[in-house]
Each structure stands twice: as structure tokens, then as C-alpha cells.
Structure 1
Amino acid sequence: MTAPDRTATAAEGRADAPRRTPPVVRLLVLAAFVVILNETIMVNAIPRLMSSFGVTEASAQWVSTAFMLTMAAVIPVTGWFLQRFSTRRAYATAMGTFLVGTAIAGLAPTFEVLLLGRIVQAAGTAVMVPLLMTTLMTVVPPHDRGRVMGNVTLAISVAPALGPTISGVVLQTGSWRLLFAVVLPIAAFITWSGLRRLENVGESGTDHVDWASVVIAAAGFGGLVYGLTRFAEGEVGLPIAIAGAGLALVVVFVLRQVQLIRRGSPLLDLRALRHSTFARGLLLMTIAFMTMLGAMMLLPLYLQNLRGLSPLQTGLLVMPGGLAMGLLGPTVGRLFDAHGSRPLVIPGTVGIVAALVGLTQLSLTMPYAVVLALHVLLMLSLAFTFTPVFTLSLGVLPAHLYSHGSSILGTLQQVAAAFGTALAVTVMTVRADAVVAEVGQRAATVSGMRWAFGVAAAIALLTVVAAVMLPRRVEEVEAPVEPRDPVDPVNAVERLDEPAGA
């Protein structure tokens, strides 16, 4: 019996057996939760940093901006990295880098050292989600991927939502350094536990890295995200030039990858885009992520600047939506396994549009319960969208493109986050400036937010169109393409229960 036959037989044999999440995926989900949590954990610490280091608010905001920029610069490299190095080595590198960055940030004597720590933290974080997605697609049989992907969605959705709330609680008891002091031992224990049990999945490759592509990707995606971020903060001239230069370098990066594909050694294999279902899913995810991040930026401004809530109160008000999105993930995953994508994604995208339309009715007196309900609707609709589209989009790819597909998704999410924020702020500012003389500053700002949510709702209509065009299941798209190095999902999982060698 050939390796592919053994894999298919094993998967079929487990179809009616009690299902469980592979240990390797559980370990990586836990690790991903901890590292992703740190992306938003510094949101409420800005005033403390300004006082501790004597820096301006704009400078202090760099603890979050530098994290996002590093993610945008590093993620394009992860497709090559995950094929070049084994699972254990990739995990050890990612978590080790994150631990070093956390220690540097927690002990930072100056603001510059703190920024360095955040950059190192982000470099480790950038590897974890592509590693998790690639491993999941390799060891989980197709019939069970939705359920397991739902558990992944729980981690990557709840973590960012909890970040501001956790930081608000911790900062009530002491210094901003406690944020890193709490995370460091937890991350160290997870790293130690993972390395004891984690075993390699698949085989590492031998391709050499194209360093020119690394530099171009870092400068291009980093410059694009930086320019959009600074533009969203109100600057115009230089940020636009930087974003334009970044976009030009991204084009150069794409053209270079096309050349490298002919030689067989691209840094980011763009052949994944030849799969139409992956490309449609990518478009849908990018737009949905853009609208989500725009809403996540506008609502805190509305609640704090216009309604007078504290950062902690704001975090508590928006936390139910993030928790609902994450907790619904496993259920959505099981529904996807049973019924396919379209019965979930079409209502989900319609719900996204409906929530954004509802937010166009913001006012200075809107009951908080209505704001909460609209935010929960948006997050639940995103839950019905993200898990099926992630699973379906990556599922149509051949196994050797899993890591590259995950990297493409992650990269565009970072760009979408920056673009969505910049677009929301631009629309809000332009509208507010147009009516401020007539209605006053507060009412003008509310009017600007309404327009921003209206533009987001109009753009989100494209997600409904993309959802209608998606197939229900992978089998309806094309015959599965066997990986270059097939992995028996049963044996790969069973080996994880044994102590791993060095």
C-alpha cells in the first residue's frame, strides 16, 4: 500500500471514531494564544509609559506600532522558514525569540530598549500562527478540519479581545512591567512543555533563502504598513510617500517571486493564488479583517472620547463580542464539517454588513446596550465567516503550499488592518471637518464615525458576493493534490503522546 493510500485509509478509519484535537495542535494553540495576547496588551499602558520614560503620547504608541510593523515584515518570510526548518526547531525558535523579547521589554531601562523588546517579541509571534495553521492542515484529516480550526479561531480571536481588559486589570495593581512579568513565566512553561512533547511533522526542506527577497519584503510590507499607520494618526505628506514607496517595493517583491518560481526557490510561493477558491477566500478575509479592525479602532474612540468611558470600562464593554466570537468558533467548525461553507459564510457576511449599517446610527445618546449588541453581532458574524473560509481556502491547496498560503493570509491581514484603520480615520476626519463649523466638534466627530461605518458597510458588500461564489466543500473544487511528503495523520498524532527526542 502506498503512503497516500495509508493516509486515506487512516483518515477514513477515524471518521466514525471519537474525534479529538491532535496534541501538537493543542500545544500550538496554547502557545499562539499567549503570544497573540501581547499584540494588544500594551494598549492601556500608554499613560504609564509616558510618565515612566518622559516620552510623548505619539512616541509611546510605538510599543504597538513597532509590534505591528515587525509582524508585517516577518510574516512573508515564514512560508520559506516553515518549509526549511522542522516543527520542533520552528517552535523553539518562535517561542525562544518571544521569551527573549519579553524579558528585554520587562527589564527595559529606557524606552528604546522597550521598543527593541517589543520588536523581538513580534518576530517570534509572526511565526506562530502560520506554524499552527500549517501543522493543523498537515495532521488533521479533511473531515475534521473545521472542528479543529474552530478551536484555533477561539485562541486567535479571544486573545486580542482580552489583551486590553487584562492589561487594564493588571495596571490597577502596579507598574506596566507587571504585564511582562506575568507573561514571561507562563510563556516559559508553555515552551518547556511543548518541547517535551512536540515531535516533528513532515520533513524539512533544503532550499536556500533569497536574501534580496527578505530585504525587499521587509522594506515593502513594513513601509506600506508604517505609512498607512502614520496616515491614520493624522500625518499626510511623508506617510503617503512612505506608503507609496512600500507599495512599489511590494510590486518588486511579487515580480521577484514570479522569477524565483521558475527556478523553484521562491521566498513566498505565489502559485497558491492560482487556486481560485483560495484567491476568493483571501479577498473575503482581507475585506472582513479590514472592516473589523476599522470598527475596533473607531468604537474605543467613540466610547472614550465622546462618551467618557475609561479604557478599562471600554475594554469590558467590547470584551463580550470578542469572547462570543472565540467561543462560537468550535461550534462553527463542527457545522462546517457537517454542512460546508456557504450555509455559514453567506449569513455571516450578511451579518457583518447589517452590524456595520447599525453602527451608522451612532449618536451621543445611543444606549450602551445597543452598542454592545451591534458589536456582538459583528463579532458573531465574523466567527461564522473566518473559520469556514480559513479551512476551505487552505484546504484546496496542495500540502507543500500550506505554509505559503498561511503566510499570504497573515501578510495581507497586517496590511488590511493598517489600511482599514487609515481608511476609517480618513473618512471620519474629512466628514468631521466638513460639518464642524455647523454642528460643533463632538457632533461632527459622531457624523464622521457614521460615514466611516457607512463606507465600511459598502465595502463589506463585496464579502457577500465572494461568499456566494465559494463552493460548499473542498471536494467540489478539485481533486486533492497529494503532498510531496505525505504524512499519516494517525501515526503523526499518536507519536506525539510519546516523549520527544532532542
Structure 2
Amino acid sequence: MTSSVQSRPHSPGRVGPMIAVAAAAAFLATFNETFLNVAFTPIMSDFGVDVNTVQWLTTAYLLVAAVFVPVANVLYHRIPTRALFVSVVAVMVAGSVVGALAPDFGVLLVGRLMQAIGTGLLTPIGMNITLAVSPREKLGMNMGIMAAMTTLGPSLAIVLSGVLLTVAPWTTLMWVFGALCFIVLIAGVIVLRTVPELGRPRLDVLSFLLVALALVGILYGVTAAFGGSARVAGGSGIVGLIALWLFIVRQRRITNPLLNLRPFSSTPFVLGVVMTMLGLMFVFAMNVVIPLFLQSARGMDPLGASITLAPGILLTVVLGPVAGRLFDRHGGKWSIPLGFLVMAVFVTLVGVAAGGTSILLFGILYIPAVLATAFIIGPAQTFALSHLDRETSPHGVTVVSTSFQIAGCVGTSLGAGIYGALSAGRLSAGAGEIDALLTGFHGSVALVVLTSVIGIILAIAAYRSVRKDHAHRNAATASAGVDDEFGSKAESGADGTVSSIMKTDVFALSTDQTVLEALQTFTGRGISGAPVLDSDGSLAGFLSDGDVMRYLSAAHPSSTSIYSFAIGAEDDLEQALSDLSSLSIMRLATREVFTIDAGASIAEAVAALSDAHLKKVPVIDASDGRVVGIVSRSAINRLAIGSYLHARADTSNMQSA
């Protein structure tokens, strides 16, 4: 599927409520993934089913949700946002009613799968709305809010369901969830407006069937690996991988693919998605294993086990936007690996405390571990999506949303599977029940520590890959012969390198300046943008007048129009400029700056500017990373025209001779 992704402008007064509705939708979608887990025991009793049957209320839910995520991108660009949102949430309401009135387990499962369809569609729709309407300088914070809601959902669901089950039957959970969905539905009717420019993208049915078979096969294989036949699990996984390969092949061949694979060409995007999944795996694994361990080994009731998780969960909601704001200002170069490190250290301490008798110490040590996810999940997905262009971003959102469901299924299956397998192994070896359960818990802790170490490595690699990713794309384009003809002509430009045509009198900004001071520099020097340097002279970012205008159009829309003076809106312009006088350059500057080496060829400069759709690029000295100049399209145009006129003059002279 291909489409033009142009978001419509929205007034600042409407942006906040729209993001709030999107965040509420993300909360509901993930909340329902674990809301019914604590009720498995009474459901088994009411319908006379065993644990292997009842677990499909979660496993099948996650599988169906994952299958429908790719469909959301098609619907998002085809159906008006409000109508789509209301329809999806209405399906979840209907599923809740069916489940609450179910006469047998089969009907309950049908209602659960109706809810899953809504979850699969709702998460990417909410993320797309947030990406489209968020001002650039607040994107990290808003995505942090979305991440906090997706983290809060499955965790808080366990606590609330435990509370409700102490005073009411399990069917109350279905009614409560249906009521929450109805409230969000009404909010969507009032607040939402159409966000993207709509088209008529087509749903490729064969692609949908292939991705469904791939996800079901792979995820069922992981789920069945610990609780079923190894042969069935292996066969399911193989079928899923074959279907995935066929899906990828088809996406590359058809005109309107269900999922555009362009995001996977960005190494930072891929690494960001994997880091997000590692953080989510921790959340889902611990949300299952900790209540199981506390109830089985420590004799706690479901409510007590749930309350043990509550403080860290609630604090994570507060810290999510804070972590997003820090990402806006400083990036995630240090916060993401630090988050994984804190998670590894404190989960290890939780494993040590599990062998003691103090539940209070156990709960306190778990708080920093779960708080660390605020510095991982939101920033990692923002990092991933920020490295995609506007046209590719919706496809990136589809990938990220699908990864949520995959991480949930894999995290739940691996966490519970390792816990159960190691516990059973110790029991069969003659160990006591508590010792066996403790061994199983330690195995799950080891899984989290391993994923954390992998996350630290990936976080470091991700930030190193940013510049390499640009360099590799440019080199590939140049080596493929892009603009080779111009490359040969460019030899007339001195030595044929960027250093021969770059502008060396670079006007640079410093990180401690304000945006208003930067605009004064732009006006005084007659330039439209400049690199931002740290105190040591290293490149910290790049600020353009376009960055400033995008901020003003979001925060002070009337100040960006010349007609504001005709309607008496001078006060808004004064307020806008007053805001800029206290706004740090780094709040608006692009941090991951596209650069080119001074020794690169002019052909590579042409490829770089064309590939990244830029007007000018800072030139650096490869030996020390210092900014030594600026190369622009206009400089290359002057060289090209000069080469042509020079060659034409030579030809005329030869003919006249």
C-alpha cells in the first residue's frame, strides 16, 4: 500500500484532547490483554475447562490482535479518523457484551476475539494520531505519554481485576471494560477530527492471509514450546517462517503492498524497534511470573500479589512523560542504555529478595526495575520512528504496533514457560515445592537480565549507526552510478571534492543560545540555517528557520500569517517572540545531523543532498569531527552551470578557430 501522508494542521487547543483520546485508546488496548488473567480460576470452574484451554483467552487474543495491526494502516488512510475510531471501539464494546453474557467457553472466546480485533486496530491508530498532530518539539513527551499508557495498561489491569474479583463475579470484568470503552467512544466522537489526507488504498487479501499465517505460526510455536508437543511447536514455527518469507516476497512485487518494507532499510529504526520489544517483554513476563510466584510460593491472594506491583506501575505513568521530555532535550544516547542497566541490576536484586521472607523489600526493589522501562520503551520507539520520513512513518507505526503484540506474546510465553519448566524440573528431581518455585522464578529473572544486556549493546550500537546509516546510503547511491555524468564534469571544480566547493566562513550557533538569538543571527547574516556547536566545538545539532516556523505554527498559529496584522493579532506575535527569547536552541534543533566528509567527492555530495532532500549539509573534518564548512545545492548548481558555460565557450572558440 502506498499513500501520501500529509497531516492536516490542528489548533493547539485541539491537539491536547486528541492526544488524550489516543492515549486512552492505547491504554484500553493493552489493558484488556491481561485484564482477564486473574479470573482464569473462576472461569475454569464455571465452564468446566482446564488450564490449557482457558489460557487461549490470552494467547488467542494476542495472536488475533497482532494479525489485525497491519490492516490498521490501510483503514487509517481510507476512512475518516473519527468514524474509524468510533467503529473500532464499538467492536470492543460489542465483544465485552458478548463475553459477559456468554453461556459457554466458546462464546466467551468469540467475544474475547472481537475485543482483540479492536486492540489490533486501535493501538496503531492512536500512535498515528499522536505522530500526526504532535508539534516536533513535544513529540518525545507525547510519545512518552503513549508509552506510559501502553505500559500501564497490562500492569494496572492485574491490580484492578484483583480488586474487582474480591467483591464481584468475573463477568463484572467484561462489563467494566465495556463501560470504559463506551466512555472513550463518546470522547472520540466529541474530540477527534480527520488527521491524514484520505485516499483509497487497497487491502491485499493474500498479503493479509500470509501475514496472519506467519504471525499465528511463529507465535503459536513459541507459546506451545513450553506447554505442548515439541513437534507441533517446531512445525508451527516452520510454517510461520515460510509464510513470512512469502509475505516479504509479495510485498516487494505488488504495486500496493499491505506493509511497506522501507522502514527496515533504516538500521536505527530496526534497532529502536528491537529495544522497544525488549522493554515490553520485561513488562509482560514479570506481570505474569510475579503474581504466580507470590501466590504459589508465598501464599498471597490475587489482590495482595497485584498490590505488590502497584507502586512501580503508578510511578511509571508519572515518569513516562518526564522521560519523553528528557529525550526531546537530550536524546536517548545515555538514558536508554542506563534504563536497561537499572532494570538488570534491580531485577537481579528482586531475584535475591525472592529467597527471603520480606514481601515489602521484594516490592520496593521491584519499583526501580519497572520505572526503568519509562526510559526504554517510549524513548526507543520515538528514536525508531524519528528516523523515518513522513511518508514512511505510518508503515513504521504499523511495525511498532505489531511488535507490541509480538513482545507481549513472546514475553508472556517465555517468562511463564521458563518459570514452569524449571519449577517442574526441580520438583521431579526431588526438591521441595518452594525451592522448585524459587528456581523457576530465578530462571525468569535470568531471562530479563539477558534481555537487558542485549538492550544495552543495541542501544550503544543504535546511536553509532545513525551517522553510518547515512554514510552507507550515500555510498551505495554513489557507487550505483547516481549522477556519474555530473561526477565527471565536477572535475572542473578544483580537485573534485566537497572541500573545493564548500563555504568555509560558517556562521555557527552555540548550545547555550536562545532561538531568538539564532533568528537574529539568521537575519544579520542573511542565512536560513546554521550548525549548533557544543562548548568543545563538536557538532550538537542544526537549526533552520523552518524548524522555528514549524514551532510557531503549532504554538502561536496566528503569528505565522502576514494577515495577523489585519485582524489585530500583533499581541500573539509579540508573545511568540517573547517565548523564543527564553527557548533553548536545542529544543528545536535537529540533533541527528546529516553531515558529509570534506574529502568526499562532489558526486557523493549530490547523492547526499538528493537522498536526504536537504538544501545544505555541514561538512566535517574526518580526523577530528570539526565542522569546517557548508555545502549547499546552490553551490553545486553554480558549479554545474559554470562547467556547462565553460565547456560551451571552449566549443565556440574551437569552432571559430
TM-score bucket (shorter structure): 0.7 to 0.9
Q: Match of 2:238?
A: 244
Cα distance change, pair 493–139 in 1 and its aligned pair in 2 (3 A) = farther
Q: Match of 2:323?
A: 332
Matched, 1:460 2:452: yes
CA shift for structure 1 position 248: 2.4
Q: 2:55 aligns with which of 53, 61, 70?
A: 61
Q: 1:336-369, CA deviations, whole angstroms, 9 ceiling, x for partnerless residues?
A: 1222212321211211221233244254434212
Matched, 1:218 2:209: no
Give 1:102-141 correspondences, 5 Å limit.
Answer: 102-141=96-135
Matched, 1:304 2:295: yes
Give yes or no for contact 1:341–1:388 (8 Å, CA) kept in 2. yes
C-alpha separation in 2, matches of 1:74 and 1:118:
14
CA shift for structure 1 position 242: 1.8
Give yes or no for contact 1:139–1:493 (8 Å, CA) kept in 2. no
Q: Secondary structure at the match of 2:391?
A: helix
Q: Match of 2:185?
A: 191
C-alpha separation in 2, matches of 1:176 and 1:121:
16
Matched, 1:353 2:344: yes
Q: Aligned letter for 1:243? A: G
C-alpha separation in 2, matches of 1:59 and 1:224:
19
Q: 1:93 aligns with which of 77, 87, 97?
A: 87
CA shift for structure 1 position 327: 1.7
Q: Match of 2:172?
A: 178
Q: Aligned letter for 2:64? A: T
Give yes or no for contact 2:154–2:284 (8 Å, CA) kept in 1. no
Q: Aligned letter for 2:79? A: F
Give yes or no for contact 2:69–2:121 (8 Å, CA) kept in 1. yes
Q: Aligned letter for 2:302? A: P
Give yes or no for contact 1:340–1:473 (8 Å, CA) kept in 2. no
C-alpha separation in 2, matches of 1:493 and 1:22:
15
Matched, 1:153 2:144: no
Q: Match of 2:281?
A: 290
Give 1:286-435 correspondences, 5 Å limit.
Answer: 286-361=277-352, 363-428=354-419, 431-432=422-423, 435=426
Q: Match of 1:499?
A: none
Cα distance change, pair 434–127 in 1 and its aligned pair in 2 (3 A) = closer
CA shift for structure 1 position 301: 2.1
C-alpha separation in 2, matches of 1:453 and 1:231:
19
C-alpha separation in 2, matches of 1:86 and 1:475:
38
CA shift for structure 1 position 31: 2.9
C-alpha separation in 1, matches of 2:107 and 2:412:
27
Q: Match of 1:442?
A: 434
Which structure has the bigger radius of gyration?
A: 2
Q: 1:167-221, CA deviations, whole angstroms, 9 ceiling, x for partnerless residues?
A: 1222222222211222323322321231133110121222211100111111210
Q: Which runs of 4+ in 1 moved over 6 A?
A: 472-480, 491-494
Q: TM-score, normalised by structure 1?
A: 0.86
Q: Match of 1:3?
A: none
Give yes or no for contact 2:35–2:161 (8 Å, CA) kept in 1. yes
Q: Secondary structure at the match of 1:342?
A: coil
Q: 1:206 aligns with which of 175, 200, 206?
A: 200
CA shift for structure 1 position 254: 2.0
Q: 1:275 aligns with which of 266, 271, 284?
A: 266
User: How many residues are paired up?
Assistant: 475
Q: Aligned letter for 1:410? A: S
Q: Aligned letter for 1:173? A: V
Q: Could you say which structure has the higher helix fraction? A: 1
Q: Aligned letter for 2:270? A: A
Please list every run of 5 or more consecutive structure 1 residues that lacks an aligned counterpart in the other structure: 1-5, 495-502
Give yes or no for contact 2:289–2:419 (8 Å, CA) kept in 1. no
Give yes or no for contact 1:223–1:242 (8 Å, CA) kept in 2. yes
Q: Aligned letter for 1:92? A: V
Q: Match of 1:500?
A: none
Q: Which has the higher contact order (CA 8 A, sep 6+)?
A: 1
